Amino acid sequence: MLDRVAKPWFLYLIECEDKSIYTGIAVDVAARYATHLSGAGARYTRAHRPKKLLAVVEFSSRSTASQAEYLIKQMTAQEKRKFAARARKAP
């Protein structure tokens, strides 16, 4: 029997060159960010070039990361920036 250990999922926020904020989830944020930078990522980041990674927050499952992603996507860009600033200061 295989011992299945759940991998954490991460919510990430990217600031784009036009100052908009993209929100996504991934298991490997570095690889996913590289995909966004290459122009092969999400349709949004193909049209709005990524500038920098603002924040990364870990979740125990895809489900909880998806729920958080939904809530963050309801926020304004200003609210997302405040969230990112708090996330960076967390221990």
Q: Is residue 27 part of a domain?
A: yes
Backbone angles phi, psi at 77, to 5 degrees: -60, -40
Domain span at 42: 9-89
Structural domains in the chain (count): 1
Q: Is residue 2 part of a domain?
A: no
Answer yes or no: is pLDDT of 4 > 80. Answer: no
Q: Is residue 49 part of a domain?
A: yes
Model pTM score: 0.90
Q: Is residue 72 part of a domain?
A: yes
pLDDT of residue 16: 96
pLDDT digits (tens, 9 = 90+) for 68-79: 999 999 999 999
Percent of the chain's residues with pLDDT above 90: 87
Write the CA distances from 3 to 6, 9, 60, 61, integer angstroms: 10, 19, 17, 17
Q: Is residue 4 part of a domain?
A: no
pLDDT digits (tens, 9 = 90+) for 39-64: 998 999 999 999 999 999 999 999 99
Specify the CATH number for the domain of residue 27. Answer: 3.40.1440.10
